[in-house]
Amino acid sequence: MSQRTLPRLMQTPAVLLLLVWMLVPLGMTIFFSFIRYVLNNLRKPEWTTPNIDNWRGFGNYEYVLYKSKDFWFAVQNSVFIVGSIIVLTVALGLAIAVLINRSFPGRGMVRVLLISPFFVMPAVNAVLWINMLLDPVLGLNGLIVNGLNGVIDGLRDFPLLGNFFSFWPELQPISFRATQTSAYAVIVMVTWQWTPFAILIFMTSLQSEDQQQKEAAILDGASAWSQFVNLTIPHLARPIAIVIMIQAIFHLSLYAEIEIVSRGNGNKNLPYLIGEFASNNIGAASATGIFAVILANIVAIFLLRIIGKSLMD
Amino acid sequence: MKTIRTSALAATAAFGLAISANATELTIAIVNNGHMINMQKVAEAYTAETGVSLNWVALEEGVLREQVTSDTATGGGQYDIINIGMQEAPIWGAAGWIEPLNFGSSYDMDDILPAIRAGLSHEGTMYAAPFYGESSMVMYRKDLTDAAGVTIRDSDSWANIKGAAAAMHNPDNGVYGACLRGKPGWGDNMAFITTVVNSFGGAWFAADMRPTIDTAAWEEAINFYVDLLGNYGPPGSEGNSFNEILALYNEGKCGMWIDATIAASFLTVDGVAYAQSPNAGNPVGANWLWAWAMAVPAGSPNADAAKAFIEWATSKDYVQAVGNHPDFGWGSVPTGQRASTYALPEFQAVAGFAAAEMAAIESAAPAATDLKPYVGVQFAAIPEFPEVGIAVAQEMAAALSGAKSVKDALAASQSAADAIMSEAGYY
């Protein structure tokens, strides 16, 4: 037995298990995506059992791409939501991590508080935001707008100044469940939840930043900004890459927030579209699933090309 | 020590034997709303009496639907009894997924409200027994209409309703004229919108099952709905369904609310009055009809025990059991299923909405007609309806928030519905 055989043999069960775990569902999805398969149909009962006789080639794909309502909208939304969340969390995470990197009284406490949103469950996060903060009548959003309107109303009674405020329009609270805004609501709540993750990663790597280099830079008269751009950012390249990769993987499959905010109205992504098809049309749901796999791969390749380098260096 | 253990064992064994002689365990999937949750407690008496142990799985409406549909469609056999609604019962009965229900004469089948029974039957056979039923009605604040000098009548015209909403609308004081459903979902905004469309003479499908969402009746109805709710409704209506509006109403923020009759038993503000749903003069009416019912999946090994339990849980005795239960009482009895419930003096004494509710249910017409060639009032009892309903629901929410014009939203709805129906092999 060569030196390699034994370890390979010992790995085999785990690898096989993983393969079965992955390949069986993927294989079934591919199979379902090429046949007619619905849960219930009174006209064509034969479609309700998955069977090779119901083969329809690329029919499901055609239906999803050209006939169903929201496919391209969902693809667009998937990319838009993931992209916005990544940009916001990295920017906020960097800023906050650098801010709390210096020592000040109560730092430990502040750090714990900053990280705590990450431990809130996604569904709870969504319910909290949409009902208590963003609701235009009973939530903070509505209360603030109401309060402002009240203040402006009061100011109108002032002499002179009142003339100015009488031109002030009555403010209307924004509804975050509307078609136009629901995607932003999802972005806001997921950003709130995931910024702590970025902070956590950046904070730990900032602690390994070379202080001597920084002192040298200060002696050379470098400004705080140029220190940040030329020393801190390159130092954080790898953690930033990790934060982007992990978040891209997680947020491509967002579901709970979308369901709770507006049930896919205006913020539908691919996983949500799959869920909608799966209420009856398993064939179309499977075809959409394959598209989601393709999209995830495109994003992965794209990300690896751009930021993979900083991981490999 | 040893003797204690042995005798304990012996006792357990004896006890086990005694039970296993007729031990049946029923697994019941229920929707997690008040009446069904109460049943878990009331049914303790049933277990004590018959020895049948009950295993409850309470799920949120959407989750329940998914679970029960896939379990029943694939013959999974997880549940002995399932909670289904009026949309599913006739279709699943036709597909042979659930067993027909025939009960003895003491059950008094004719006591079940005819509209409810028709909605849960396929070709005259009942496939699911109603636990409670509901229709829709106007629930308005009498104090506010009086102050505004308007009246709301039974089966009022939509123009009058809009006038009353406008008169009560006073957002500066936090009162909105009309609170109506806007949250997308086939059982949410579409339940209400479909009743409006029905009353304007529109329908979901024509006789050949081609969708008819691009008709003038739909356009008129949706324009009216968007106008009413957009101008005299609370901000953020596109996120409001039953629970959200109930919260607003109980905060005193709504002048009127047109929704499920079951809401009446949860209203805590003073001065609520009831009226039959408005109508634009169409015989299909503007009342919806819904029931949560219990059914037995075909091929359940405990089918007989399951049917016996359903017979008890949907009987007159059950209503008595809830009314006399120390934890509940007559205000909490399930309604909308039996005429006899409304005849009970104890119930009448605590339920001011009883008469309006029964009238609303009785006037609802789920059967297929020339105007509406499918079964169901605020839905169509076909397996594809949830998919069609969700697609249209989102377009209607977009029209409500002004993201799309009513015309565009209806055109998009029509083409989406058309794609789904032709994909399903109807034409």
pLDDT at B16 over 60: no
Mean pLDDT confidence for B240-254: 91
pLDDT-based confidence at A309, cuts 50/70/90?
low
The confidence score (pLDDT) of residue B409 equals: 96
pLDDT at B88 over 60: yes
* Span A155-170, pLDDT tens digits: 887 777 777 777 777 7
Chain A interface includes B253 (CB < 8 A)? yes
- Between chains, do B423 and A48 touch, taking CB under 8 Å as contact? no
> Is residue B291 within 8 Å of residue B116, measured between CB atoms?
yes
The confidence score (pLDDT) of residue B3 equals: 45
Query: Which residues of chain B lie closer than 8 angstroms to A262, CB-CB?
Result: 183-184, 238-239, 397
Residue among A32, A35, A137 with most chain B CBs within 10 A, to mutate: A137
pLDDT at A182 over 70: yes
Collapse the DSSP code of B254 into the 3-class scheme (helix H, G, I; strand E, B; otherwise coil) and give the result. Answer: strand
Q: How far apart are CA A68 and CA A112, in angstroms?
A: 47
CA dist B355 → B8, B136, B348, B417 (Å): 57, 13, 9, 38
Read out DSSP for A119-188?
GS-HHHHHHIIIIIIS-TTTSHHHHHHHHHHHHHHHHTTSTTHHHHHHTSPPP-PPPTTSTTTHHHHHHH
- Give how far the C-alpha of residue A277 lies from the chain's centroid of Cα atoms, to the nearest Å: 22
ipTM at complex level: 0.84
Q: From the CA of B53, how many Å to the nearest CA of chain A? A: 31
> Is residue B280 within 8 Å of residue B199, measured between CB atoms?
yes
CA dist A238 → A99, A202, A212, A307 (Å): 20, 10, 21, 8
The H or E element containing residue B146 is helix B142-148
The confidence score (pLDDT) of residue B144 equals: 94
Query: Which residues of chain A lie closer than 8 angstroms to B183, CB-CB?
Result: 177, 262-263
Nearest to B386 among A176, A177, A280 (CB): A280
Nearest to A175 among B66, B239, B398 (CB): B239
Mean pLDDT confidence for B96-119: 90
Q: How far apart are CA B303 and CA B402, in angstroms?
A: 51
B276 or A304, greater pLDDT: B276
> Is residue A269 within 8 Å of residue A299, measured between CB atoms?
no
- Between chains, do B95 and A172 touch, taking CB under 8 Å as contact? no
Chain A interface includes B60 (CB < 8 A)? no
**Helices of type H across B266-335:** 303-313, 316-323
pLDDT at B117 over 50: yes
The confidence score (pLDDT) of residue B18 equals: 42
Q: How far apart are CA A6 and CA A1, in angstroms?
A: 7
Q: Which two tokens stand for residue B340?
A: 């006899």
The confidence score (pLDDT) of residue B149 equals: 92
pLDDT at B63 over 60: yes
B192 or B59, greater pLDDT: B192
**Among B residues 90-109, those touching chain A with beta carbons less than 8 Å apart:** 91-92, 94-95, 97
Collapse the DSSP code of B55 into the 3-class scheme (helix H, G, I; strand E, B; otherwise coil) and give the result. Answer: strand
Q: How far apart are CA B69 and CA B345, in angstroms?
A: 39
pLDDT at A119 over 50: yes
The confidence score (pLDDT) of residue B13 equals: 45
The confidence score (pLDDT) of residue B350 equals: 85
Mean pLDDT confidence for A143-152: 87
- Between chains, do B397 and A45 touch, taking CB under 8 Å as contact? no
Chain A interface includes B44 (CB < 8 A)? no
Q: Which residue of A has its CA nearest to B62?
A: A279
Collapse the DSSP code of B260 into the 3-class scheme (helix H, G, I; strand E, B; otherwise coil) and give the result. Answer: strand
pLDDT-based confidence at A95, cuts 50/70/90?
very high
A46 CB contacts (<8 Å, ≥6 apart)? A53, A54
- Between chains, do A48 and B73 touch, taking CB under 8 Å as contact? yes
As a whole number, the mean pLDDT across chain B is: 88
Q: How far apart are CA A278 and CA B140, in angstroms?
A: 39
Q: In this complex, how many residue pairs, one in chain A and one in chain B, have their CB atoms less than 8 Å apart?
A: 135
Q: How far apart are CA B274 and CA B143, in angstroms?
A: 13
Buried b (16+ CB within 10 A) or exposed e, B342-366: bebeebeeebebbebbbbbbbbbbb
Query: Which residues of chain B lie closer than 8 angstroms to A135, CB-CB?
Result: 236, 239
Place of tokens 């005299």: B232
Query: Which residues of chain B lie closer than 8 angstroms to A265, CB-CB?
Result: 184, 238, 393-394, 397-398
Strand ranges in B67-183 using DSSP code E only, listed in sequence order: 81-84, 121-122, 125-126, 129-141, 176-179
The confidence score (pLDDT) of residue A313 equals: 58
Place of tokens 């075909």: B298
B58 exposure class (CB count in 10 Å sphere: 0-12, 13-18, 19+): middle
Which is it for strands B129-141 and B254-260: parallel, antiparallel or unpaired?
antiparallel
* Span A28-79, pLDDT tens digits: 999 999 999 998 888 888 898 888 999 999 999 999 999 988 899 999 999 9
Question: What amino acid is encoded at B334 in this protein?
Answer: P
* Span A246-270, pLDDT tens digits: 999 899 999 999 999 988 899 999 9
pLDDT at B354 over 60: yes
Domain spans of chain A? 62-312
Collapse the DSSP code of B376 into the 3-class scheme (helix H, G, I; strand E, B; otherwise coil) and give the result. Answer: coil
Q: How far apart are CA B54 and CA B41, in angstroms?
A: 11
Q: What are the structural domains of chain B?
A: 2-133+290-350 (3.40.190.10), 136-288+370-423 (3.40.190.10)
Q: How far apart are CA B190 and CA B180, in angstroms?
A: 11
The lowest-confidence range among A191-200, A234-243, B13-22 is: B13-22
pLDDT-based confidence at A308, cuts 50/70/90?
low
> Is residue B79 within 8 Å of residue B57, measured between CB atoms?
yes
The H or E element containing residue B291 is strand B289-295
pLDDT at B1 over 70: no
Residue ranges of chain A whose CB lies within 8 Å of a chain B CB = 38-45, 47-48, 63, 67-70, 130, 135-138, 142, 146, 172-173, 175-180, 261-266, 268, 276-281, 284
pLDDT-based confidence at B372, cuts 50/70/90?
confident
Residues of chain A with pLDDT > 90, as a percent, come to 52
**Among B residues 363-392, those touching chain A with beta carbons less than 8 Å apart:** 382-384, 386-387, 390-391
Residue whose C-alpha is closest to residue A273's, from A298, A254, A260: A254
pLDDT at B416 over 60: yes
Q: Which residue of B has its CA nearest to A265?
A: B394
pLDDT-based confidence at A300, cuts 50/70/90?
confident
What is the architecture, at CATH level 2, of domain A62-312?
Orthogonal Bundle (1.10)
Q: How far apart are CA B373 and CA B426, in angstroms?
A: 14
End-to-end CA distance of chain B: 77
- Between chains, do A39 and B95 touch, taking CB under 8 Å as contact? no
Query: Which residues of chain B lie closer than 8 angstroms to A38, CB-CB?
Result: 383, 424
The confidence score (pLDDT) of residue B19 equals: 42
Mean pLDDT confidence for B345-364: 87
Q: Which two tokens stand for residue B360?
A: 């609303």
Nearest to B425 among A44, A138, A261 (CB): A44
pTM of the model: 0.86
pLDDT-based confidence at A310, cuts 50/70/90?
low
Q: How far apart are CA A110 and CA A91, in angstroms?
A: 19
Query: Which residues of chain B lie closer than 8 angstroms to A276, CB-CB?
Result: 387, 390
The C-alpha angle with vertex A219 and arms to A218 and A221, in degrees rounded to 5, equals 65
* Span B68-84, pLDDT tens digits: 888 888 778 889 999 99
Q: Which two tokens stand for residue A16?
A: 């096989």
Q: From the CA of A165, how many Å to the nearest CA of chain B? A: 17
Q: From the CA of A213, how many Å to the nearest CA of chain B? A: 54
The confidence score (pLDDT) of residue B22 equals: 52
The C-alpha angle with vertex B54 and arms to B51 and B58, in degrees rounded to 5, equals 165
